[in-house]
Amino acid sequence: MIGLSAGTKIWIVCGVTDMRKGFDGLAALVQLKLREDPFSGQLFVFRGRRGDRVKILWWDGDGLCLFAKRLERGRFVWPRAEDGVVHLSQAQLSMLLEGIDWRRPVRTQAPQLAV
């Protein structure tokens, strides 16, 4: 995965994004829709209409990086809001990219105190 520093913000861009957009089109969306700087080192995650594709835009200090992923089965879990953004942790981003529902992760075992 991407080597992120501890303070890096991860933004999910709500709504549907045209997946034909590349570096410039997605950077323009970040500036106009989110009012954020695409060259800030933060991650911006976009989802397509069908829900099986995401793109991540990231400035690594030398240039813009564009990562894409398509799920062969299933869909990426996305907020229902049409506008706005949602912040994720790095763990939630990992779950999202694996197709896991990052909003309600379920523990396999409840933590217990040793007595």
Closest listed residue to residue 45, CA positions, set 24, 32, 62, 29 = 29
DSSP state of 20: T
pTM confidence score: 0.81
Average pLDDT over residues 76-84: 73
- Separation of alpha carbons 16 and 47, rounded Å: 6
Domain ranges of the chain: 10-97
pLDDT digits (tens, 9 = 90+) for 32-62: 888 999 999 999 999 989 989 999 999 988 9
